[in-house]
Amino acid sequence: MIPGLGALTQDTLWCFSQVKGTIEIGATEDEMLLSLPALHLQTSEYHPLFQLPHGRLGPWCSPTGSPAPLSCETGCREGSWILVCRLLVPTQVSLLSMEEDIDTRKINNSFLRDHSYATEADIISTVEFNHTGELLATGDKGGRVVIFQREQESKNQVHRRGEYNVYSTFQSHEPEFDYLKSLEIEEKINKIRWLPQQNAAYFLLSTNDKTVKLWKVSERDKRPEGYNLKDEEGRLRDPATITTLRVPVLRPMDLMVEATPRRVFANAHTYHINSISVNSDYETYMSADDLRINLWNFEITNQSFNIVDIKPANMEELTEVITAAEFHPHHCNTFVYSSSKGTIRLCDMRASALCDRHTKFFEEPEDPSNRSFFSEIISSISDVKFSHSGRYIMTRDYLTVKVWDLNMENRPIETYQVHDYLRSKLCSLYENDCIFDKFECVWNGSDSVIMTGSYNNFFRMFDRNTKRDVTLEASRENSKPRAILKPRKVCVGGKRRKDEISVDSLDFSKKILHTAWHPSENIIAVAATNNLYIFQDKVN
Amino acid sequence: MAGAAGPGTGAGAAGGDGDDSLYPIAVLIDELRNEDVQLRLNSIKKLSTIALALGVERTRTELLPFLTDTIYDEDEVLLALAEQLGNFTGLVGGPDFAHCLLPPLESLATVEETVVRDKAVESLRQISQEHTSVALEAHFVPLVKRLASGDWFTSRTSACGLFSVCYPRASNAIKAEIRQHFRSLCSDDTPMVRRAAAAKLGEFAKVLELDSVKSEIVPLFTNLASDEQDSVRLLAVEACVSIAQLLSQEDLEALVMPILRQAAEDKSWRVRYMVADKFSELQKAVGPKITQDDLIPAFQNLLKDCEAEVRAAAAHKVKELCENLPIEGRETIIMDQILPFIKELVSDTNQHVKSALASVIMGLSTILGKENTIEHLLPLFLAQLKDECPEVRLNIISNLDCVNEVIGIRQLSQSLLPAIVELAEDAKWRVRLAIIEYMPLLAGQLGVEFFDEKLNSLCMAWLVDHVYAIREAATNNLMKLVQKFGIEWAQNTIVPKVLVMANDPNYLHRMTTLFCINVLSEACGQEITTKQMLPIVLKMAGDQVANVRFNVAKSLQKIGPILDTDALQEEVKPVLQKLGQDEDMDVKYFAQEAMSVVVQRLRKLDLPVKDCDEPSAPGADKNHFLRPRGPGEDAGKGPAYQLCVNPRETLAHPEIVGLVHFSQSRD
Give me the residues paired with residue A191 across strands. Answer: A207
Question: Which of B72, B111, B267 is facing A6, going by the closest CB pair?
Answer: B72
> Rounded to a whole number, what is the distance in Å from the CA of A21 to chain B's nearest CA?
26
CA–CA separation, B647 vs B123, rounded Å?
44
In tens, the pLDDT along A238-296 reads 777 777 888 888 888 888 899 999 999 999 999 999 999 999 998 999 999 999 999 99
Phi (first) and psi of residue A498, to 5 degrees: -60, 145
Tell me what pLDDT residue B20 has. Answer: 57
Residue A52 has pLDDT above 60, yes or no: no
| Mean pLDDT computed over B545-563 | 88
Give me the residues paired with residue A83 across strands. Answer: A535
CA–CA separation, B227 vs B614, rounded Å?
83
**Residues 99 to 128 of B: which have CB under 8 A from any A CB?**
110-112, 114
Tell me what pLDDT residue B386 has. Answer: 84
Tell me what pLDDT residue A31 has. Answer: 31
Tell me what pLDDT residue A153 has. Answer: 61
Query: Is A23 or B65 the better-scoring residue by pLDDT?
Result: B65
Is residue B154 within 8 angstroms of chain A, CB to CB?
Answer: yes
Tell me what pLDDT residue A94 has. Answer: 32
In tens, the pLDDT along B508-523 reads 989 999 999 988 888 8
Is residue B74 within 8 angstroms of chain A, CB to CB?
Answer: yes
Is residue B13 within 8 angstroms of chain A, CB to CB?
Answer: yes
* Measured torsion, CA atoms of residues A389, A392, A393, A394, in degrees rounded to the nearest 10: -100
| Mean pLDDT computed over A125-141 | 94
Is residue A177 classed as helix, strand or coil in its secondary structure?
Answer: strand
Best residue in A11, A220, A229, A232 for a mutation probing chain B (most B CBs within 10 Å):
A229
Tell me what pLDDT residue A234 has. Answer: 73
Give me the residues paired with residue A458 across strands. Answer: A473
Is residue B190 within 8 angstroms of chain A, CB to CB?
Answer: yes
Closest by CA to A93, choosing from A148, A22, A37, A141, is: A22
**Residue B56, number of CB atoms within 10 A of its CB:** 16
> Rounded to a whole number, what is the distance in Å from the CA of B358 to chain A's nearest CA?
22
> Rounded to a whole number, what is the distance in Å from the CA of A1 to chain B's nearest CA?
9
Residue B419 has pLDDT above 90, yes or no: no
Residue B33 has pLDDT above 90, yes or no: no
In tens, the pLDDT along A190-205 reads 999 999 988 889 999 9
Which residues from A are below 8 Å from B72, CB to CB? Answer: 6-7, 218, 220
Do A154 and A175 form a contact (C-beta atoms < 8 A)?
no
CA–CA separation, B81 vs B44, rounded Å?
6
Tell me what pLDDT residue A109 has. Answer: 36
In tens, the pLDDT along A351-393 reads 988 998 999 999 998 888 878 889 999 999 999 999 999 999 9
In tens, the pLDDT along B287-313 reads 888 998 889 999 999 999 999 999 999
DSSP one-letter code for B336? I
Tell me what pLDDT residue B442 has. Answer: 84
DSSP one-letter code for B402? H
Tell me what pLDDT residue B522 has. Answer: 83
CA–CA separation, A239 vs A317, rounded Å?
76
* Contacts of the segment A176-180: beta carbons below 8 A, 24+ positions apart: A176/A210, A178/A210
Question: Which of B17, B26, B308 is facing A229, going by the closest CB pair?
Answer: B26
Is residue B315 classed as helix, strand or coil in its secondary structure?
Answer: helix
Residue A37 has pLDDT above 70, yes or no: no
Tell me what pLDDT residue A245 has. Answer: 84
Are B34 and A6 inside 8 Å of each other by CB?
yes
Residue A72 has pLDDT above 90, yes or no: no
CA–CA separation, B244 vs B202, rounded Å?
9
Sorting pLDDT into bands at 50, 70 and 90, what band is A79? low
Which residues from A are below 8 Å from B17, CB to CB? Answer: 239-240
Do B368 and B409 form a contact (C-beta atoms < 8 A)?
no
* Amino acid (1-letter code) at residue B396: I
Distances (CA, A) of B319 to B288, B322, B356, B370: 16, 5, 11, 16
Tell me what pLDDT residue A39 has. Answer: 26
Sorting pLDDT into bands at 50, 70 and 90, what band is A477? low
Tell me what pLDDT residue A141 has. Answer: 94
Residue A370 CB-density burial (10 A; 0-12 exposed, 13-18 middle, 19+ buried): exposed
Helices and strands, number each (H, E), in chain B:
49, 0
> Rounded to a whole number, what is the distance in Å from the CA of A190 to chain B's nearest CA?
25
Sorting pLDDT into bands at 50, 70 and 90, what band is B3? very low
Do B225 and B259 form a contact (C-beta atoms < 8 A)?
yes
Is residue B2 within 8 angstroms of chain A, CB to CB?
Answer: yes
In tens, the pLDDT along A399-443 reads 999 999 999 999 999 999 999 999 989 999 999 999 999 999 999
CA–CA separation, A229 vs B191, rounded Å?
49
Are B268 and A350 inside 8 Å of each other by CB?
yes
The rounded Cα A294 to chain-centroid distance in angstroms is 23
Is residue B229 within 8 angstroms of chain A, CB to CB?
Answer: yes
CA–CA separation, A331 vs A281, rounded Å?
8
The helix (run of H) or strand (run of E) holding residue B338 is none
In tens, the pLDDT along B141-185 reads 999 999 999 988 999 999 999 999 999 999 999 999 999 999 999
CB pairs under 8 A between A and B: 149
Are B29 and A245 inside 8 Å of each other by CB?
yes
DSSP one-letter code for A314? S
Percent above pLDDT 90 for chain B: 40
Least confident of A305-314, B249-258, B265-274, B412-421: B412-421
Tell me what pLDDT residue B79 has. Answer: 93
> Rounded to a whole number, what is the distance in Å from the CA of A85 to chain B's nearest CA?
32
H helices present in B187-334, as ranges: 191-207, 210-212, 218-225, 230-246, 249-251, 257-264, 269-277, 279-290, 296-303, 308-316, 318-324, 330-333
Residue B80 has pLDDT above 90, yes or no: yes
Sorting pLDDT into bands at 50, 70 and 90, what band is B118? very high
Closest by CA to B178, choosing from B221, B144, B226, B131, is: B144
Residue B108 has pLDDT above 90, yes or no: yes
Distances (CA, A) of B172 to B166, B188, B377: 12, 24, 58
In tens, the pLDDT along A147-181 reads 999 887 655 555 556 788 899 999 999 999 988 88
Sorting pLDDT into bands at 50, 70 and 90, what band is A12? very low
In tens, the pLDDT along B356-369 reads 999 999 889 889 88
Residue B664 has pLDDT above 90, yes or no: no
**Helix B141-148 to helix B172-186 angle, to the nearest 10 degrees?**
20
Tell me what pLDDT residue A341 has. Answer: 93
